[in-house]
């Protein structure tokens, strides 16, 4: 077995969604449409935040970074999905698979931290409105975002090194659409206990830790909203959190399904659908959610469209 391990792992073959060749090209077109819409929507959101002074607030500063992460996050996986569909399979070298796993984990971790920071921002805005400007200063915002990037980098490095020091043997086919942790664990052999413990520990510092910050923040927000005497005031205050809460529910719901359940290295067609949802669909939906459910964004967009018509 030791000799086999030394010679086997030079490349991985991605074969997800190739069991039905007749569906490959329609799915390719669908993913292409989703990816283009993701780029257009998130670049549009970043541009809108930059050009409209009314959106130069802490919440939209964090949202611009979330949009940038969604572009990067989607770009790591969706083009690879399209290549798998177009070629009915794709071969990745060991190094390229590790690089994709690192970038995917890096951008995904930052997404989690940014959503947690946005929850804290909403907590300060709702529970301490008079101190909001003094608490969420530009320096604090920059430190928050820098901390999210550094923590994401550290987590991604540790998890990637841990995952790719595993021994892989047997079939090198990954019945998936990119190099993700569950299918890699299925291909591993030998004693992987130490690596799996490290991976799980650092996963706890990303998903559950971010969820705790979000849940605690919204617990205080709900208490503050319930103390508002008028129903209209409660609805207006809650509406400032609705977009973020929708994004959090979609993103963390799918992450919990994929990574915080006991699958013992097993995965199914259902997992592939869920992975497509959080890597391709959610980054596309986020700018739509913030555009349709946010009054300031709708007004800024309407202002730009009016200018375009007049010119």
Q: Which domain holds residue 195?
A: 11-259+269-310
pTM for this prediction:
0.89
What are the residues whose beta carbons fall under 8 Å from the beta carbon of 174, sequence distance 6 or more?
12, 13, 14, 15, 16, 183, 184, 187
Strands of the sheet with 90-93, listed across from one edge: 90-93, 11-14, 173-174
Look at the chain and report how many structural domains it folds into: 1
Residue 213 inside a domain? The answer is yes
Residue 6 inside a domain? The answer is no
In the numeric block, the tokens 């541009």 are attached to 47
Orientation angle between helical segments 193-204 and 138-163, nearest 10 degrees = 170
Mean pLDDT across 35-48: 94
Instruction: Please list the residues that pair with 311 across neighbouring strands.
Output: none
Residues found in the chain: 311
Residue 2 inside a domain? The answer is no
Q: DSSP assignment, residue 9?
A: -
Give pLDDT tens digits for 212-261: 999 999 999 999 999 988 888 888 888 888 889 999 999 988 888 776 65
Domain CATH code at residue 300: 1.20.1070.10
Q: Are 186 and 267 in contact (CB under 8 A)?
A: yes
Q: Select from 207, 210, 234 the least CA-distant residue to 221.
A: 234
Instruction: Report the alpha-carbon distance of residue 102 to residue 161 in Å, rounded.
Output: 9
Residue 203 inside a domain? The answer is yes
Q: Report the 3 state secondary structure along 201-228.
A: HHHHCCHHHHHHHHHHHHHHHHHHHHCC
Query: Is pLDDT of 24 > 90?
Result: no
Residue 3 inside a domain? The answer is no
Residue 239 inside a domain? The answer is yes
Mean pLDDT (the chain) is 85
H-type helices in the chain, by residue range? 2-8, 21-51, 58-87, 94-127, 132-135, 138-163, 181-187, 193-204, 207-226, 231-259, 269-276, 282-292, 295-310
Residue 134 inside a domain? The answer is yes
Residue 4 inside a domain? The answer is no
Mean pLDDT across 262-281: 70
């Amino acid at each position: 077995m030791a000799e086999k391990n030394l010679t086997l792992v030079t490349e991985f073959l991605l074969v997800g969604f190739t069991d039905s060749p007749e569906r490959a090209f329609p799915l390719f077109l669908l993913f292409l449409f989703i990816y283009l819409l993701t780029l257009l929507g998130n670049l549009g959101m970043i541009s809108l935040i930059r050009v409209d002074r009314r959106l130069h607030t802490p919440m939209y500063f964090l949202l611009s970074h979330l949009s940038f992460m969604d572009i990067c996050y989607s770009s790591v996986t969706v083009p690879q999905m399209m290549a798998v569909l177009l070629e009915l399979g794709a071969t990745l070298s060991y190094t390229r698979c590790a690089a994709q796993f690192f970038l995917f984990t890096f951008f995904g971790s930052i997404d989690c931290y940014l959503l947690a920071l946005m929850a804290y921002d909403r907590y300060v805005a709702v529970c301490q409105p008079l101190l909001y400007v003094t608490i969420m200063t530009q320096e604090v915002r920059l430190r928050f975002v820098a901390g999210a990037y550094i923590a994401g980098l550290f987590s991604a490095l540790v998890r990637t090194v841990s995952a790719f020091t595993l021994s892989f043997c047997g079939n090198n086919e990954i019945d998936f659409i990119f190099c993700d942790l569950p299918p890699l664990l299925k291909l591993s052999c030998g004693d992987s206990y130490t690596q799996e413990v490290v991976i799980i520990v650092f996963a706890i510092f990303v998903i559950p830790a971010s969820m705790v910050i979000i849940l605690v923040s919204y617990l205080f927000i709900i208490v503050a909203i319930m103390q508002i005497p008028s129903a209209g005031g409660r609805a207006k205050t809650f509406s400032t959190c609705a977009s973020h809460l929708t994004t959090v529910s979609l993103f963390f719901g799918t992450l919990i399904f994929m990574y915080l359940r006991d699958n013992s290295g097993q995965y199914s067609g259902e997992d592939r659908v869920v992975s497509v949802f959080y890597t391709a669909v959610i980054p596309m939906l986020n700018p739509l959610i913030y555009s349709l459910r946010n009054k300031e964004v709708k007004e800024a967009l309407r202002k730009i469209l009016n200018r375009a018509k007049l010119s």
